[in-house]
Structure 1
């Protein structure tokens, strides 16, 4: 699986972030996890982030850095609340994604 550490340090691209998200989605689809893990919710977050990446060239460097930080947080399963071991595992991820959208693309908040 691709990891955030594999992103180019000098200038990450939308394509590199898409690779991370694709690997994460594959992990979700293939992982053995508790029945309470809300994969559908995680896939909604994937959709929101993919839509942001579709607009990559419209963002300034600071906004791009915020996107990188959010994607890296999202794809890390062992973040604040472990994504695959907790019934609220993706809640912290959703908060990060929604915070990002509020700042750079509020039209995607629905």
Structure 2
């Protein structure tokens, strides 16, 4: 998984555990695609300071994932649900009403 997607997933799960400053910088850089220079200018600090805050935030997010594993578990559950949907597509005609309902339940769980 690419870094941008991974950091955004980690932030979705653990972002509230960061400091308000870390939250703001991660949102501006990863969600709003602002450069380090743009963030630095907005806050009146150096690019290096922005870089340091972002690196620290990434490390904190990674540590939470290492200890709790919520993102990994979420991705695995999603993979299992997608596999189940695929297997349901191979069902026979007599089971179609039940299969349709199971598909609805799985799709609802994936949202």
Scaled by the length of structure 1, the TM-score of the pair is 0.30
Larger helix fraction of residues: 2
Q: Which has the higher contact order (CA 8 A, sep 6+)?
A: 1
